[in-house]
Structure 1
Amino acid sequence: MCCRDRCIRCICCTIITLVLLFIVSSIIFWIIISPSNMKFHVTDVSLTQFNLTNNNTLYYNFKVNVTVRNPNNNIVVYYRRIKAIAWYKDNDFGRVNLTPFDQGHKNTTVLQVLFEGQSLLKLRRQQLGEYKEETSVEVYNDMAVDFDFRIRAKFGKFKSSRFNPPIVQCRRLSVPLISKGKSSPPFSVRNCRIGRSFFVDRDAEAEW
């Protein structure tokens, strides 16, 4: 009986030791890698059509250029799904799937997104009043673009499984309408908001 108890204690100690070693190794690995957050900036916008009819149909042509910067020395990001979502006053009106790509370390990539077509857009009374005022001056406020990614990341020689990072939010954009004969006015670069870390699975984080 004593021999059996010693065996059980030995197995338990071994399992605990292995778990602790794994946790410590993971922490040390993460400290060594110490990933910097990705950087997203809206660098240019172009709006040539934004017409809301009486039957709540929005006709739109909205272009957005966004730079994606990977500032890390030892991390490669594999973008496997890229969905861009256009918003106006908290109402989404356009969705576009972009071509997947791989981004190496210390690399900057430009995403060019074109939202074009028509969709149903039901604004509340106050929002409709704001839309009419903005139409009169041809500048639309509270425009936004979100990016929903599914990625893999390579940390040194270790490659992660696919996961969903936090939604990248490029909000509070004031976008002028470019009428015929008018040139596009200069646009001030805007930062996009990310969660605490781009390299954390938002689904796993939500469970906590």
Structure 2
Amino acid sequence: MCCRPQNTFVCIYCTICTLILIFFLSFIIFWIVISPSNLKFHVTDATLKQFNLITTNNTLYYNLKVNITVRNPNNNIIVYYRRITAIAWYKDNDFASITLTPFDQGHKNTTFLEAKFEGQSVIKLKAKQLGEYKQETSVGIYNDLAVDLDLRIRAKYGRFKSGRFDPPIVQCRRLRVPLVSNGNSAPPFSVTKCSTGSSFSDRNADAGA
């Protein structure tokens, strides 16, 4: 045994290590016992009023609004969203990001988010992607838009509240969004389920291991 009276430093070190080990084991057992369900994200609507790429200087002018529902399906977990960054993509090129208002979400609760992207950005499409863009423009429907949500959250179960952590990026991919212009109507948007990964784990944990 490492804790001997003649070696106070080693004894203190062993005690601290033991307490840390007990804490982490207790935390793991705690989450296994409550078995939290992953948070659920859906894009319920998307509106594209402008999506014009100037090929001479690779400048994209955009006006995109995306409505997202966030569902906490758990009976006994409160989720605190402390940072929400929405990132817009087109054919693997990110062209805009905005910060949404933080909020708290109770048990069995659904929250509605609205992300508005408007402005201009430089993107460089590959030859094949540029050809797809021109084809989609002629049809008036863009098939490869996406929105990611970069979150920082805390979770509370009873009186226990976790520290802040960054779960895996929420990926809302392959959005098929029609262009609405000059007051013309567009076909309805199909609700799209987003990929979440494990909502109550830190994506940086594996990287630091």
**Normalised by the size of structure 2, how large is the TM-score?**
0.88
Shift of 1:68: 0.2
What's the C-alpha RMSD, in Å, of the aligned pairs? 2.4
CA distance in 2, matches of 1:104, 1:129: 46
Shift of 1:184: 3.5
2:95 to 86, 93, 108: 93
Shift of 1:173: 0.9
CA distance in 2, matches of 1:170, 1:103: 20
Q: Which runs of 5+ in 2 are unaligned?
A: none
Q: Secondary structure at the match of 1:179?
A: coil
Number of the residue aligned with 1:68? 70
CA distance in 2, matches of 1:187, 1:65: 11
Alignment of 1:23-42 (within 5 A): 25-42=26-43
Shift of 1:185: 2.0
Number of the residue aligned with 1:181? 183
CA distance in 1, matches of 2:154, 2:31: 16
Q: Is the 8 A contact 1:42 1:189 kept in 2?
A: yes
- Of 14-23 and 160-169, the range deviating more from structure 2: 14-23
CA distance in 2, matches of 1:169, 1:33: 26
CA distance in 1, matches of 2:187, 2:38: 31
Number of the residue aligned with 2:80? 78
Identity level (%)? 71
Q: 1:55 to 1:16 in 2, by over 3 A?
A: closer
Number of the residue aligned with 1:140? 142
Q: Secondary structure at the match of 1:85?
A: strand
Q: Secondary structure at the match of 1:146?
A: strand
Q: Secondary structure at the match of 1:188?
A: coil
Q: 1:156 to 1:49 in 2, by over 3 A?
A: same
Alignment of 1:153-172 (within 5 A): 153-172=155-174
Match of 2:90, as an amino acid?
Y
Shift of 1:13: 9.7
Number of the residue aligned with 1:207? 208
Q: 1:76 to 1:135 in 2, by over 3 A?
A: same
Q: 1:186 to 1:99 in 2, by over 3 A?
A: same
Q: 1:29 to 1:128 in 2, by over 3 A?
A: same
Q: Secondary structure at the match of 1:133?
A: helix
> What number of residue pairs does the alignment pair up?
204
2:111 paired with 1:131: no
Match of 1:47, as an amino acid?
L
Q: Is the 8 A contact 1:46 1:184 kept in 2?
A: no
Q: Secondary structure at the match of 2:30?
A: helix
1:194 to 189, 193, 196: 196
Q: Is the 8 A contact 1:43 1:190 kept in 2?
A: yes
Q: 1:35 to 1:124 in 2, by over 3 A?
A: same
Q: 1:186 to 1:156 in 2, by over 3 A?
A: same
Q: Is the 8 A contact 2:176 2:189 kept in 1?
A: no
2:52 paired with 1:51: yes
Q: Is the 8 A contact 1:40 1:66 kept in 2?
A: yes
